[in-house]
A and B are shown apart, each in its own frame.
Chain A
Amino acid sequence: MKARSAFAFLTPFLAVFTLFSLLPLALSILLSFLDWSPLNPEQAGWVGFGHYARALHEPRFWGALRNTFFFVAGTIPLTTTLALGLALLVRLPLKLRTLFRAGFFVPSVVSMVVISLIWKHLYAPFGGMNALLGWLGIPPQRWLLDPELALPAVMAMDVWASVGYYMVLYLAGLETIPAELYEAASLDGAGFWARLRHITWPALKPMTLFILVVNTMRSFQIFVEVFVMTGGGPMHATETVVLYLYDAAFHQFRMGYASAVAYLLFAILAVFSLLELKWLRSEQRTLA
C-alpha cells in the first residue's frame, strides 16, 4: 500500500524522466550503431561498431580528447585550490565580507554564454587583457587566435567563472567543522598551517571529493565556453570532445557517428567517476 502511493507520487517525475531522458538515451545508443542523417530521416543503415572504430582512427577525435584532458587536468586542481583559499578568506571577519562572498559567487548564476561573450571581448586585440598587459609593459597577445594560448585562455576564464560555486560548497563544509577542534589545536600550539593541514583539510575531504567528482563530470563535457569564444579554433587547438561531436552531428549531419563519440566520452567519464567515487567511499570509511 505504502509502496503504491509512493509510486504514485513518483509518477510525474518518472514520466518526464522516461520520455525526455531515458528514451532518448536508449535511442541514441541505437543511433550510434546506425548511419543516419536527419536530412533523410527514413533512411538508416546498420553499421555495427563501425562508428566507434572510425572515431578511434580519427586524428581529430584524439586531438579533441587531448584538449579535453588538458582542460580537465589544468582547471580542476586550480579551481579546487582557489575555491578552498577563497572560502577560507571570506570566512575571516572582514568588512564587506558578504559583498566578497556574493561577488565570487555571482559568475555561477550568470549564463555561461554571457560570461564567454564578455571574456571574448576582454581577450580581443584591443580589449581589456591587452590593455592590462600594456600597463605592465608586456606586448599584446593574440589570446584566442594563438594555438598555444587559446586553450589556456579559455581555461583561465573557466576557473574564474566556476570557482565561486565550489567556494560556496567549501564554505558549507567549513561550517561543519566543530570550533572546539581549532581551540584545542591552538592550545596545543598549532599554527595556521598546522591547523589547515591536520584539521581543515582532513575534515573537508568528503567535500573535496564531491567537488572533484562534480567538476570532473562538468569539465569533461566542456562546450559552451569554446563554442562561443573560439568555435574550436585556431587549428582545432580548443576543440573539445563535445564540440567535436556537435560539429559531426549538426554541421556534417553524421548523427550516428556523433552518438558513438558521445558514448566513447561517456565510457571515459564513467571510469573516472567510478574511480573517484570508490576513493570517496574508502575515505568516508576511514573517517567513520
Chain B
Amino acid sequence: MRGTPFGPILALLALAGLVAGAGCGRKGGNDQASGQQEVTFWHFWRQEWITPLITEFERRNPDIHVVDEQLTWQAGQEKIQAAIAAGQAPDLCELGSTWLPRFAASGALMDVTPIADSLRGEIGHWEPAMQGGRVYGLPWVVGTRALFWNRALFRAAGLDTTRAPATWEELLQAATRLSARPGVKGFGLNAGERYVLFKKFMPFAWGNGGEILTPDGQRAAFDSPANAAALAFYVQLAKQSLIEKQDVIDRAFMDSQVGMMISGAWNLRVFAEQAPGLEFDVALIPRPAPKRGRHASFAGGEYLVVFARSQAVDAATRLARYLIGRDAAVALCRAARSVQPAAMGAEDDPYYRSQPKDRLFVEQLATAVAPPPHPRWGEMEEALDHEIEGALYGRKTPAAAVRDAGSAIDALLAEDRR
C-alpha cells in the first residue's frame, strides 16, 4: 500500500467515530514532578488476579507507576484497534496468539527480538509471535485443550474407569456406550460460535498427520487424506454427541449429561467451585490408533506486546519481563487456573507437582500444535469453521469440506501475495 495525504483526515475520522467506544487511554511517559515513569497496561485478567502482581512490580520498581485496565474478551480487540487508530494505544498490551500476527504485520507492534534473544533459555513458545524472522511479542502464558471424562458415568455405562479412551476407536466406542444411557450424550462437540470449532477439530487432524498450510506457509495443505479421514471420524463422533456451544457443553458436562468433552483448563477452577462432587478426570486427546499418530491438541497463548508508538518503552519492557518471569506467571496461572506459564520448567514448580490435573495440561502442551502465525489467520479460521460445520450438518462430505476449505485458504493466500 502506498501512503497518501488521507492520513490526517482518517485520523480525524478515527477520533470522531471510533474512539467513542474506546474510553480515554492515557499515554505513558515521564511525570515531571515525581520523576516517576507511567506505563499503561491493558490485559484480560480479573483484577483480583493481576493486581497483586502489579503491586509487587511497583514495590520492586518504585520509579514506575502502572496504570492497568481490564479488557473484555467480547470487545477487547475492537477497543485495541480503535485505540491504535486514534493514536491512544497503551504501552504494554496482552494479545492472544491468533490475533498477534495481524497486529505484527501491520507494523503496530515494536520489534522485541533483542529482548527475545536474551530470554530464549528461560521462556518457550516463541513461534506464534514471529513474523519474517523477527519477534513481536513476549510469551506470557499458554493454554491447550484436553479430554475431560466423567468417571461416574463411565462406571454406570460399564466402561473401564481406570483410564480414559486413548484412541479414536476407544473414544467412539465409549461415546456410543455412554449415549445409550437415558439423558446422556457420550461426547460434547462444538458448533455455532466463533473461535472455537477448529480448536476442537484440529487435534484430530493434526494427530492424524494433517496440516493447515505447507511448511513454508505459502500454500494450503488442508486438502489431504489425513484431514479428510479426521473429519470423517469427527462426523461419526458427532452422531453420539451433544452438538452445542462451549458454555452449554461445559454446563452439561458439569450436570453429568455429557460423558466426555474436549475443553480447557479453566474448567478445573469452574468445576471445583460449582460442582465439587463431580467425579471427573482429564487425559490426553486420543490419537488415531495405538501406535499411529500423535496425541495432538490446540496450542494458544497470551503474549505481551509493546506498541510501536509507546513513549515508555523502557518501563513497558521491564513490566513485561517481570510478568512473563516464572514466579509471576506461575502465580497468575495458579489464580486463574486456565493456562500454564510460558516460562520453561514451570511444570517442576511444587504447585504443578501437587496438581495432577493441572499437570496433565502441561503434558498435553508438549504435543499441542499452534495454528499458522499468518496475518490473515482470522479469515482462514473462519473458512475452516465454515467447512467443518458444513460437514457436521451433513451439507457436504468430509472430502468435499476439506477440499473447499483448502481452496478458500489458497484464495486468501493468493490475495495476500498481491
Within the complex, the shortest CB–CB distance from B409 to chain A, in Å, comes to 15
Q: Which residue of B4, B16, B17, B243 contacts A44 across the interface (Cβ within 8 Å)?
A: B4
Within the complex, the shortest CB–CB distance from A249 to chain B, in Å, comes to 9
Stretch in contact with the other chain, from B51-59, B76-84, B272-280:
B76-84
For the complex, what is the distance from the CA of A31 to the CA of B242, rounded to whole Å? 44
Contacts of B7 in A (CB 8 A): 41-44
A19 touches B16 (CB 8 A): yes
Contact A251 B77, CB 8 Å, known A44-B1, A235-B389: yes
B18 touches A38 (CB 8 A): yes
B14 touches A231 (CB 8 A): no
A142 touches B85 (CB 8 A): no
B192 touches A39 (CB 8 A): no
Stretch in contact with the other chain, from A21-29, A67-75, A76-84:
A21-29
Q: B interface, how many residues as a size bin?
A: 35 or more
Contact A147 B393, CB 8 Å, known A19-B16, A39-B102, A41-B14: yes
Within the complex, the shortest CB–CB distance from B257 to chain A, in Å, comes to 8
**For residues 1 through 48 of chain B, which have their beta carbon under 8 Å from a beta carbon of chain A?**
1-4, 6-7, 9-14, 16-18
A44 touches B10 (CB 8 A): yes
Interface assignment of A160: CB less than 8 Å from any CB of chain B: no
For the complex, what is the distance from the CA of A19 to the CA of B13, rounded to whole Å? 10
A250 touches B12 (CB 8 A): no
Contacts of A27 in B (CB 8 A): 9-10, 12-13, 16-17
B77 touches A250 (CB 8 A): yes
Q: Closest residue to A246 on the B side, CB-wise?
A: B78
Contacts of A107 in B (CB 8 A): none
Contact A145 B77, CB 8 Å, known A30-B6, A45-B2: no
**For residues 207 through 254 of chain A, which have their beta carbon under 8 Å from a beta carbon of chain B?**
230-231, 233-236, 250-253
Contacts of B87 in A (CB 8 A): 41
For the complex, what is the distance from the CA of A20 to the CA of B12, rounded to whole Å? 11
Contact A236 B386, CB 8 Å, known A19-B16, A23-B16: yes
B17 touches A24 (CB 8 A): yes
B81 touches A235 (CB 8 A): no
Q: Which residue of B81, B192, B244 contacts A38 across the interface (Cβ within 8 Å)?
A: B81
Interface assignment of B378: CB less than 8 Å from any CB of chain A: yes
Interface assignment of A144: CB less than 8 Å from any CB of chain B: yes
Q: Which residue of B4, B12, B386 contacts A45 across the interface (Cβ within 8 Å)?
A: B4
For the complex, what is the distance from the CA of A124 to the CA of B242, rounded to whole Å? 12
B10 touches A145 (CB 8 A): no
A250 touches B81 (CB 8 A): yes
Tally of A interface residues using CB under 8 Å: 37
Interface assignment of A286: CB less than 8 Å from any CB of chain B: no
Interface assignment of B248: CB less than 8 Å from any CB of chain A: yes
Within the complex, the shortest CB–CB distance from B85 to chain A, in Å, comes to 4
Chain A interface mostly helix, strand, loop or mixed?
Answer: loop
For the complex, what is the distance from the CA of A144 to the CA of B7, rounded to whole Å? 42
Contacts of B242 in A (CB 8 A): 125
For the complex, what is the distance from the CA of A253 to the CA of B18, rounded to whole Å? 13
Interface assignment of A46: CB less than 8 Å from any CB of chain B: yes
Interface assignment of A37: CB less than 8 Å from any CB of chain B: yes
Q: Which residue of A30, A145, A233, A234 contacts B9 across the interface (Cβ within 8 Å)?
A: A30
Q: Closest residue to B89 on the A side, CB-wise?
A: A39
A125 touches B390 (CB 8 A): no
Contact A24 B16, CB 8 Å, known A39-B108, A145-B191, A145-B243: yes
B192 touches A145 (CB 8 A): yes
Contacts of A111 in B (CB 8 A): none
Q: Which residue of B6, B17, B81, B389 contacts A253 across the interface (Cβ within 8 Å)?
A: B81
Q: Which residue of A24, A41, A251 contacts B11 across the interface (Cβ within 8 Å)?
A: A41
A250 touches B78 (CB 8 A): yes
Within the complex, the shortest CB–CB distance from A123 to chain B, in Å, comes to 11
B192 touches A45 (CB 8 A): no
B10 touches A41 (CB 8 A): yes
Q: Please, what's the 1-or-0 string for B368-394, where 1 marks a CB less than 8 Å from any CB in chain A?
A: 000000000011000000100110010
For the complex, what is the distance from the CA of A30 to the CA of B5, rounded to whole Å? 12
**For residues 1 through 33 of chain A, which have their beta carbon under 8 Å from a beta carbon of chain B?**
19-20, 23-24, 27-28, 30-31
A41 touches B17 (CB 8 A): no
Given contacts A40-B107, A44-B6, 18 further A-B contacts (CB under 8 A): A23-B13, A24-B16, A27-B12, A35-B1, A39-B106, A41-B7, A41-B11, A43-B3, A44-B10, A125-B244, A145-B192, A145-B243, A231-B193, A233-B191, A236-B386, A250-B77, A250-B78, A253-B81
Partner-B contacts on A (CB < 8 A): 19-20, 23-24, 27-28, 30-31, 34-46, 124-125, 142, 144-145, 147, 230-231, 233-236, 250-253
Partner-A contacts on B (CB < 8 A): 1-4, 6-7, 9-14, 16-18, 77-78, 81-82, 84-85, 87, 102-103, 106-108, 191-194, 242-245, 248, 252, 378-379, 386, 389-390, 393, 395
Interface pairs (8), CB distance under 8 Å: A39-B106, A39-B108, A41-B7, A44-B10, A233-B192, A234-B389, A234-B393, A253-B102
Identify the 3 closest CB pairs spanning chains A and B, nearest first: A39-B106, A38-B85, A45-B1
